[in-house]
Amino acid sequence: MVRLPYFIALTTLFSYVLIFTIGRLRDLFRTLVDFYRPKSEGDQGYAPICLGLEDFYSRRLYRRIQDCFGRPLAGAPDTWIDVVDRHSNDSNKTIQRTADTRRCLNLGSYNYLGFAASDEYCTPRVVDCLKKYSPSTCSVRVDGGTTKLHAELEDLVARFVGKPAAVIFGMGYATNSSIIPVLTGKGGLIISDSLNHNSIVNGARGSGAVVRVFQHNTPLHLEEVLREQVAAGQPRTHRPWKKIIVIVEGIYSMEGEICKLPEIVAVCKKYKAYTYLDEAHSIGAVGKSGRGVCELLGVDPADVDVMMGTFTKSFGSCGGYIAASKEIIQYLKYACPAHLYATSMSPPAVEQVICAMKVISGEDGSNRGAVKLARIRENSNFFRSQLQKMGLQVLGDNDSPIMPIMLYNPSKIPAFSRECLKQNVAVVTVAFPATPLLLARARICISASHTREDLIRGLKVISEVGDLVGIKYFPVEPEKHLAESGGAMVD
């Protein structure tokens, strides 16, 4: 739940209406011009690729601020990055790269534990592995794609997470999209959090089960939905459901909030529903030894039926995993399409995860892992408290390394992004469709490799740009409680 002052809500709405109207006017002119221009040979008789308003947002809104997204890097996505300068000759319709780069502080990449670039323990081992196993096995896991490394990593992941067995895949997105249809099909019910990631939504849709949504992170509403659904049964036939799966995420990537796992698990146990936890952003990043939200909130991993995670964020690699009981994993290995039809994970990437996990759990013989985990917690809490002191509206819970700063107004999105880039700080701004239309935000991701000086520099720049752009909605501490009481609540 986000509270915004009425004035801000009105101005944001007004801006969108203005942009929309101008966009429609331009579309009107385009239709008139096209009417008089002869149609090109190849398109005769074919329906256009995008009809009507389908790509209106892309053409008339997104394109104007296209330079704020997709900025290419000329090096590793480390703490300091080389952002390639780009320019456009036709007001952002097309953008070209130049040969110049600028060195910026990276506040946008998912590099929670600092494994992104070359690491002193991991990289030599990864290069050795590359020379031995080649960049790819060119085969699916059930054919010739299983190497010793894959088996080792599955064991390691299972031990790390605290479950009996695990299976790994080459892409986190494909993990969700192909596991959920295997776990439940027609006749089942999936109850998912309203702000779940697109991969979960796609997996749920692809399964053929009925999908219901509960209010974001509200265990009471989940209980209500469960009671209603179990009592009512399947729609129209009212037969009892075959099984019910509740899907939640550990840390929500657009809100920075940590899931209320103990309450949700308690509710699911009471109503005999299965829990599926997606720890894409929380594995390795939270918890005293990096074991994720279960460790942080004191939930026994045995209480969560299926735990999913990705290796992209905290381990500096690619791919995803599922950890569950031995029987479920055996069944998944037999039936999951991503295991049977998709190329197995690239061996150097597997080696990177193995090395990263060894560092985090201290098995490499040093205490770098513990240092990294302590640093990321310290950095996140410091940064968040400083941002709040400045008067910015920051979402998310303590200990979470993701900090969305609310912008709201569509014109502040490019303003914030470009001004920060001018001062050599790279931030990520997110708008529709990843967030609701009125709630655009800038999202900061803190890393364990950020030093105190880096963070202070980042804070200085954000404060200056914040003043310039006008996003300090809740002025400094003493007046804060007055402003909050007069605000409007938006879900």
Partner 1 sequence: MASAVMNATTVALDWLSSSFDAPLARAVIFGVHVDGHLVVEVLLIVVILFLLSRKSYKHPKKPLTEKEIDELCEDWVPEPLHPPITEEMLSEPPTLESAAGTHTMIDGKEVVNFACANYLGLIGHEKLINSCASSLEKYGVGSCGPRGFYGTIDVHLDCEERISKFLGTSDSVLYSYGISTIFSVIPAFCKKGDIIVADEGVHWGVQNGLYLSRSTVVYFKHNDMASLESTLERITKGNKRAERLRRYIVVEAVYQNSGQVAPLDVIVKLKERYHFRVILDESNSFGVLGSSGRGLSEHCGVPINKIDIITSGLGGALATDGGFCTGSVRVVDHQRLSSSGYVFSASLPPYLASAAISAIDHLEENPSLLGQLRENISLLRRELEDVPGLTVSSSPLSPMVFLTLKRSTGSPKADQQLLEDITNRALKEDGVFIVTSKRSTLDRCRLPIGIRLFVSAGHTHGDILKASASLKRVAAAALSEPI
Helices 347-360/368-390 angle, 10° precision: 80
Q: How far is the CB of 7 from partner 1 (least distance, A)?
A: 30
Inter-residue contact 448 to 412 (CB < 8 Å): no
Q: How many residues are listed for the chain in this entry?
A: 491
The β-bridge relationship of strands 320-324 and 165-169 is antiparallel
297, 335, 483, 490: which one contacts partner 1 (CB under 8 A)? 335
- Encoded one letter per residue, x for contact with partner 1 by CB under 8 A and - for no contact, window 409-428 reads -----------------x-x
Q: Which stretch binds partner 1 (CB under 8 A): 159-167, 341-349, 413-421, 466-474?
A: 341-349
Q: Which one of 110-118, 211-219, 285-293, 452-460 is the stretch in contact with partner 1 (CB under 8 A)? A: 110-118
Closest CB 208 distance from partner 1, rounded Å = 8
Whether the Cβ atoms of residue 7 and residue 483 lie closer than 8 Å to each other = no
Q: Does 108 bind partner 1 (CB under 8 A)?
A: yes
Shortest distance, CB of residue 397 to partner 1, whole angstroms?
A: 22
Report the run of H or E that residue 421 belongs to, with start and end.
helix 412-422
C-alpha 293, offset from chain centre: 16
Applying CB under 8 A, among 14, 135, 452, 482 the residue interacting with partner 1 is 135
By CB under 8 A, tell whether 309 contacts partner 1: no
Task: Tell the residue number behind the tokens 């992104």, with chain if given.
Answer: 116
Q: Which residues pair with 488 in a beta bridge?
A: 4
Least distance to partner 1, CB of residue 139, Å = 4
Indicate the residue type of 286: V
Find the part of the chain contacting partner 1 (CB under 8 A) among 2-10, 309-317, 401-409, 474-482. 309-317
Selected from 7, 26, 240, 467, the binder of partner 1 by CB under 8 A is 240
The 360-399 contact track toward partner 1, x by CB under 8 A, reads ----------------------------------------
Pattern of binders to partner 1 over 266-305, x per CB under 8 A? Answer: -----xxxx------------------------------x
312 binds partner 1 per the rule CB under 8 A: yes
When the beta carbons of 143 and 300 are compared against partner 1, the nearer one is 143
Judging by DSSP bridges, how do beta strands 425-426 and 402-408 pair with one another?
A: unpaired
Q: Which of residues 1-30 bind partner 1 (CB under 8 A)?
A: none
**Pick from 114, 167, 138, 154: nearest CA to 371:** 114
Beta bridge partners of 429: 442
For partner 1, the closer CB: 305 or 419: 305
Q: Which of 388/423 has CB closer to partner 1? A: 423
Q: How far is the CB of 264 from partner 1 (least distance, A)?
A: 17
Q: Cα–Cα distance between 286 and 451 in angstroms, integer?
A: 19
User: Per rule CB under 8 A, is residue 126 in the interface with partner 1?
Assistant: yes
Q: CA angle, 77 as apex, 167 and 447 as ends, to 5°? A: 75
Tell me the three state secondary structure of residue 135.
Answer: coil
Contacts of 351 by beta carbon, 8 Å cutoff, 6+ apart = 122, 125, 126, 129, 149
In the bound complex, what is the minimum distance in angstroms from residue 336's beta carbon to partner 1? 7
- Tell me the two tokens of residue 421: 């880039």
What SS3 state is found at 359? helix
Site for partner 1 contains 133 (CB under 8 A): yes
